[in-house]
Each structure stands twice: as structure tokens, then as C-alpha cells.
Chain A
Amino acid sequence: MNIGEIWTWISAAVAIAIALVIVTFALIVAWKLLRGQIDLTYLLAEPPAAPVPGVAATPSGPPKASISRFQFLIFTFVIAGVYLVLCLQAGRFVEIPENVILLLGVSGTSYAASRGISAAAQTSQVNAQTNTTTTTSSDGNG
């Protein structure tokens, strides 16, 4: 066995080890998803907000799915899936057109803006509630 063949076997062994690590990670994630050990309940909905100190907890109602999250999930699955398939077929990283990146940017920006609008509404509501509480307690003291 000459030096060239030895290096070929070493590179094959390293490639197999790397492939095993990647496949093991993938299988662990898939297994935990199947068993329900990775919680997907809030994949499309916002988790309940943490209580604000000094403000009485208000019933927030049942969690509601976010349409922006839904869009983000769909586009990520489609673009990432197609990209993975094409890369594996081509055996190299394929080129990503500008408009595809723009598409993900639009989706991400929409999600961020939607969260911003919701957060601003919640902040206004908490501020209004705090002001009401302060006014009521100062009326009671006076």
C-alpha cells in the first residue's frame, strides 16, 4: 500500500466519522420530535408573556397562532428544503438568487414588525393599567 492509498483511506475514515456525527444529530432530533420530547406546541403561537412586576396579572386568554410565524415556517421549510436537495444533487453549494434572499428578508421583517405591533399594544396596555392602579391608590391614601 503506497502513501497515496493511505491518504485516501484516512480521508474516507474522516468523511465517515463526520457523516456519522451529522446523521446521529439528525436522528436524535427526529427521535425526540417523534416522542414529543421536543415541545412543538408554541411553534406557531407566542408563548405566554412573563408577568410584569408591580402590575396585577391579567388573564391573557388562550394562546393564538401567529400568521407571521406560519409564513416564516413555510418559507424556511420550502427554501431550505429545495436548497438542501439541489446542493446534494449538485455536490456543491448552489447559488442563491437575490430575490430569494429578499423573500426571506420580507418574511422575517414582517414577523418582526408584527411582534413590534403586538409588543407596543401590550406596553400601552400595561402602562394604562399601571396609571390606573397608581391613581386609585393615591385616591385611597388621600
Chain B
Amino acid sequence: MILAQLSDYLEMILEGWLFLVFAIVLYRMARGQIIVAGLLRAEKNAPFGLERLQLVGVTLLFAIGYAIFALDAEQLRTLPDIPTPLLLVLIGSNTAYLAVKYAQRSALIGAGGRGR
């Protein structure tokens, strides 16, 4: 009886804690206390990088979709599996981003410029 109650309290506290940490991170991002500048640009003053934009989009859509699906299927009592085609989309998105980044850095080195 006591252990069951303790488990319920602990569950509430840990879920609340996780939500609080997530909220703090979001709040600090919104206030500019976590550096998010340059997330979508390869260099300062450079135009938006399409490869970065697509990776952020795929990541956010994937994460939100998975969270909704997993919490909706809570009664399954197990983490839901990710369909292989979706995983391949994510791998492709990451590969595209890395390939463009590598090409840009190689071009910068070749031109004697600085890469970041």
C-alpha cells in the first residue's frame, strides 16, 4: 500500500521534473540565453541553407509525430516501433546535410577561407 502510493508520487514528481526541464530549455531559448543564432545558416550573413532547413523540419516533424503516436498508444506498454521507410527518410535527410556541409568546408579550405 505504502509502496504503491510512493510509486504514484514518484511518478508525478519525475514527470513534472521532465516537463519543467523541457520548459526551462524552451524558455531560455526564447529569451536568447541559449545560443540558437546560425541554426539555419552555414555562415554568419549567409542565406538560409536549404539542407539545414529540411533537417530541422524533418527532425521536428519526426519528433512531434513520434511523441504524439507514443503517448496516444500508451496502453501498449511499450515504445512504438519506427517504420523503416521513415527511418530511411531521416537517414537521407542527415546524409544530405552532412554532404552539403562537407562540400562547403572543402570549398572553403580550397579557397583558403575559414570554415566553421
Interface residues of A (CB under 8 A from B): 11-12, 15-16, 19, 22-23, 26-27, 29-30, 33-34, 36, 40-45, 58, 60-65, 67, 70-71, 73-75, 77-86, 88-91, 94-100, 102-103, 106-107, 110, 113-114, 117-118, 120-122, 124-125, 128
Contact = CB atoms under 8 A, between A and B. Distances in A.
A103 B90 contact: yes
Interface of B: 2-3, 6-7, 9-11, 13-15, 17-18, 20-22, 24-25, 28-29, 33-41, 44, 52, 55-56, 59-60, 63, 66-67, 70-71, 74, 77-84, 87, 90-91, 94, 97-98, 101-102, 105, 108-109, 112, 114-116
Give chain A's interface secondary structure class. helix
Given A12-B3, A128-B112, A86 B78 contact: yes
A12 B77 CA distance: 26
Nearest to A42: B35
A68 to B, nearest CB: 8
A124 B111 CA distance: 12
Nearest to B83: A99
Contacts of A79: 66, 79
A82 B109 contact: no
A99 B82 contact: yes
